[in-house]
Amino acid sequence: MLRTIFAVGLMAILGLIALKFIFGIFGFLFAILLMLFLLAIKIALIGFVVYLAIRILSPDTARRIRQKWSGA
């Protein structure tokens, strides 16, 4: 039983060391990916607002845009 407790503790410590190592080395990469993801969300929201405005102001243009992208 004592051996099992030590084994679990050792695995937990090794896991924490591995996480610190991974995020320490690849932390910059994760930050860049998060920044690009947030930028993509902002661009998508702006595109949605523009499309919504076109749809309200000119439904025919919105239909042509929708047909062009959907291929229908």
Is 72 a residue whose pLDDT tops 80? no
Per the structure, the count of domains in the chain is: 1
pLDDT band at 43 (very low <50, low <70, confident <90, very high): very high
Name the CA dihedral angle for 42, 44, 48, 49, rounded to a multiple of 10 degrees. Answer: 20
Distance CA(12)–CA(44), nearest Å, equals 41
Residues 60 and 53: beta-carbon distance below 8 Å: no
Residues 30 and 23: beta-carbon distance below 8 Å: yes
Query: Hey, what are 69's tokens?
Result: 């992208």
Domain boundaries, position 11: 2-70
pLDDT 10s digits, 3-38 = 888 899 999 999 999 888 887 878 788 888 899 999
Average of per-residue pLDDT across 38-49: 95
Handedness of CA 47, 29, 27, 10 (dihedral sign): positive
- pLDDT at 23 (0 to 100): 79
- pLDDT at 4 (0 to 100): 87
